[in-house]
């Protein structure tokens, strides 16, 4: 029997797992997907929001501002790329100017530091590729960017280093209580725990129903994105927003931590929670929206498009509460959820403690996690040394991102290592470049088959059944 079971290994579940791993507890994370961060976390804007957007007094506002302040330190500890690039909310007319004034005041109330309203000249001096009809902007110097799935993987690895167990490809079918024990029936058998955390993302409403908590629904809200080649990654250096609407923060244009540029998302409510297809209309909307803010977005520079699904709660705010004794919901964590998750984690742990979970600090807690250095990022001396020991570092597999066989093998062999083509891609970027895996994918498949000791036909793109050589991958 575990002390705590966490359902969900997205950014919320992995943040909570890492926080729990500071204490002498037995903890298990149960995830239905085959990898960490395979739900809303994987297709996400990757923005660390400053905190002026969420309404005063909400959980979103509180945890956004707290999270934004914690981010740099956590990314340093876990060796995850993070960049405080700042953000602008553009105004194009008087209505927009009034709107950014409201956001400015809200930001001050929420406790956001270094906020400023700037005029057209300042906007264009900071970002020369903004459209000329801009009239001003809200400038948030504390806005930042991060790689959401790399952070979730790092949090999971660090939790795992500190003893947390991960059950991947394990779907929760039913949860109920016998006396004070949670009985969690899964696709891989029964798990028992004394405490339970619901961080099930898009499916957190179903888990809450099983726990008998006050009813809420998660409404899946699609967001389509276009990712641009690194050659145009410098069109803007800050994250560029328009004034938000009741559909969300609108379409943004932002660099990524790896030097690409993305435009998106739109916002379309859907019935299904698993439809990540992209549509021509959606991508046109995204490009039109981005071009409203920024000059020079050429569709020919798009290297891929994708859809993410927000876990939007029908309550209007994050649902962080106690559905039944000894359980905590961390649900409905839509934007600014990526930013907020690192601050939600200690709060969730404090709610467990209030219900009787004893927290005794581990003496040997390992606070830092080191990622494997990619060959491309090594110094000449490091390259020589690693090559003399391991010739696999001399074989380039992904030509776009210059990723070697040694890098890929090490991503597979790490704790909670890659088990699929997408798993490799998210850990070391093989397949993330201009050709989107056209060249390297067959080689990555060969390496996975060899390292996992499985036939080529069993290598998966991502989840169970997505056999990359024979099956449907989308
Ligand atoms: O449209 P929103 O408000 O869900 O925000 C989406 C943003 O890209 C969040 O980072």
SS3 269: strand
Q: List the end-to-end C-alpha distance of the chain, in Å, as a whole number.
A: 37
Burial 242-275 (b: 16+ CB within 10 A, else e): bbeeeebbbbbbbbbbbebbbbbbbbbeeeebee
The pLDDT of residue 120 is above 70: yes
C-alpha angle 161/166/169, rounded to 5°?
Answer: 145
User: When comparing pLDDT for 396 and 271, which is higher?
Assistant: 396
Reported confidence tier of residue 472, pLDDT bands at 50, 70, 90 = low
Task: Name which residue sits closest to atom 5 of ligand 1, judged by CA.
Answer: 249
**Residue 330 CA to its chain's centroid (Å):** 15
Q: Which atom of ligand 1 is nearest to the CA of 310?
A: 4
What pLDDT is attached to residue 231? 96
pLDDT tens string 195-246: 999 999 999 999 999 999 999 999 999 999 999 999 999 999 999 999 998 8
Q: What is the largest CA-CA distance in the chain?
A: 66
Give the β-pairing of 189-198 and 2-7: parallel
Structure tokens of 290?
A: 């981005």
- 328 C-alpha to center of ligand 1: Å? 25
> Which residue has a Cα nearest atom 1 of ligand 1?
248
Ligand 1 center–CA 269 separation, angstroms: 13
For the chain, give the mean pLDDT: 96
Q: Is 269 left (phi over 0), alpha (psi -120 to 50) or beta?
A: beta
What is the whole-number distance in angstroms between the Cα of residue 35 and the centre of ligand 1? Answer: 24
Q: What is the mean pLDDT of residues 435-459?
A: 95
Q: How far is ligand 1, taken at its centre, from the CA of residue 248, in Å?
A: 6
Report the pLDDT value the prediction gives residue 465, as an integer from 0 to 100. Answer: 84
Residue 46 Cα: closest atom of ligand 1: 10
Tens of pLDDT, residues 166-203: 999 999 999 999 999 999 999 999 999 999 999 999 99
The fraction of the chain above a pLDDT of 90, given in percent, is 95
**Mean pLDDT calculated for residue range 139-160:** 98
Q: Which atom of ligand 1 is nearest to the CA of 250?
A: 1
For a mutational test of ligand 1's pocket, the pick from 42, 55, 310, 335, i.e. the residue with the most ligand atoms closer than 8 A to its C-beta, is: 335
The ligand 1 atom nearest the CA atom of 312: 4
Spatial distance between the Cα atoms of 268 and 276, rounded to a whole number of angstroms:
12
Residue whose CB lies within 8 A of the most ligand 1 atoms, among 143, 220, 248, 263, for a mutation test:
248
**pLDDT of residue 471 exceeding 80:** no
Tell which one of 40, 43, 45 to mutate to probe ligand 1, the residue whose CB is within 8 A of the most ligand atoms.
45
> Which residue owns the Cα nearest ligand 1 atom 8?
45
User: Average pLDDT of 155-170?
Assistant: 98
Residues 341-383 have pLDDT tens digits of 999 999 999 999 999 999 999 999 999 999 999 999 999 999 9
Judge whether 99 counts as a catalytic residue.
no
If you measure from the C-alpha of residue 406 to the centroid of ligand 1, how many angstroms do you get, rounded to a whole number? Answer: 36
Mutate to test the pocket of ligand 1, among 52, 87, 202, 267 (most ligand atoms within 8 A of CB): 267
What are the pocket residues of ligand 1 if the criterion is a CB atom closer than 6 Å to any ligand atom? 45, 47, 248-249, 252, 265, 267, 310, 334-335
* Partners of residue 331 on adjacent β-strands: 319
Tell which atom from ligand 1 comes closest to the C-alpha of 53: 3
pLDDT score, position 396: 97
Distance 468 CA to ligand 1 centre (A): 31
pLDDT of residue 69: 97
d(CA 399, CA 378): 17
Task: Give CA–CA dist 12/148, Å, rounded.
Answer: 11
Rounded distance, CA 75 to CA 27, Å? Answer: 23
Tell whether the model's pLDDT for residue 22 goes beyond 90: yes
Burial of 276 from C-beta contacts in 10 A (0-12 / 13-18 / 19+): middle
Looking at residue 464, its pLDDT comes to 83
Looking at residue 473, its pLDDT comes to 57
What residue's CA is closest to ligand 1, atom 9? 335
Q: Which of the residues 49, 99, 258, 402 is marked catalytic?
A: 49
pLDDT of residue 474: 59
Q: Is the pTM of this model over 0.95?
A: yes
Taking residues 103-126, report their average pLDDT. Answer: 98
Structure ipTM = 0.93
Q: How far is the CA of 310 from the centre of ligand 1 (A)?
A: 8
């Amino acid at each position: 029997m575990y002390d705590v079971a966490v359902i969900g290994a997205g950014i919320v579940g992995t943040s909570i797992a890492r926080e729990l791993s500071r204490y002498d507890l037995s903890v298990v994370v149960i995830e239905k997907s085959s990898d960490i961060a395979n739900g809303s976390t994987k297709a996400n804007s990757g923005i660390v929001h400053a905190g002026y957007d969420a309404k005063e007094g909400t959980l979103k506002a509180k945890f956004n501002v707290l999270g934004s302040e914690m981010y740099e330190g956590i990314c340093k500890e876990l060796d995850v790329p993070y960049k405080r690039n700042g953000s602008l909310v553009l105004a194009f007319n008087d209505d927009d100017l009034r709107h950014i004034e409201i956001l400015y005041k809200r930001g001050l109330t929420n406790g956001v530091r270094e906020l400023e309203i700037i005029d057209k000249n300042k906007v264009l001096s900071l970002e020369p590729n903004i459209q000329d009809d801009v009239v001003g902007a809200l400038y948030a110097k504390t806005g930042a960017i991060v790689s959401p799935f790399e952070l979730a993987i790092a949090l999971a690895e660090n939790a795992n280093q500190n003893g947390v167990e991960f059950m991947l490809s394990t779907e929760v079918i039913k949860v109920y209580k016998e006396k004070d024990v949670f009985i969690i029936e899964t696709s891989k058998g029964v798990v028992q725990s004394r405490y339970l955390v619901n961080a099930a993302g898009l499916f957190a409403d179903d888990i809450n129903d099983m726990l008998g908590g006050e009813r809420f629904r998660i409404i899946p809200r699609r967001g389509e994105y276009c990712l641009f080649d690194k050659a145009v990654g410098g069109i803007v250096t800050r994250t560029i927003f328009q004034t938000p609407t009741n559909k969300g923060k609108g379409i943004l244009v932002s660099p990524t931590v790896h030097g690409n540029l993305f435009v998106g998302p739109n916002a379309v409510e859907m019935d299904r929670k698993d439809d990540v297809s992209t549509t021509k209309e959606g991508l046109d909307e995204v490009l039109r929206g981005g071009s409203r803010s920024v000059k020079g977005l050429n569709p020919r520079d798009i290297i891929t498009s994708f859809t993410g699904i927000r876990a939007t709660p029908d309550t209007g705010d994050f649902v962080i509460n106690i559905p039944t004794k000894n359980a905590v919901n961390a649900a409905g964590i839509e934007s600014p959820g990526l930013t907020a998750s690192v601050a939600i984690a200690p709060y969730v742990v404090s709610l467990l403690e209030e219900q009787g979970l004893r927290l005794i600090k581990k003496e040997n807690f390992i606070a830092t996690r080191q990622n494997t250095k990619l060959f491309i990022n090594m110094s000449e001396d490091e390259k020589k040394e690693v090559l003399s020991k391991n010739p696999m570092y001399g074989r380039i597999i992904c030509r776009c991102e210059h990723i070697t066989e040694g890098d890929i093998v090490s991503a597979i062999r790490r704790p909670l290592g890659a088990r699929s083509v997408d798993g490799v891609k998210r850990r070391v970027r093989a397949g993330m470049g201009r050709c989107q895996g056209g060249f390297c994918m067959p080689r990555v498949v060969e390496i996975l088959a060899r390292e996992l000791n499985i036939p080529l036909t069993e290598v998966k793109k991502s989840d169970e059944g997505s056999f990359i050589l024979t099956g449907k991958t989308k």
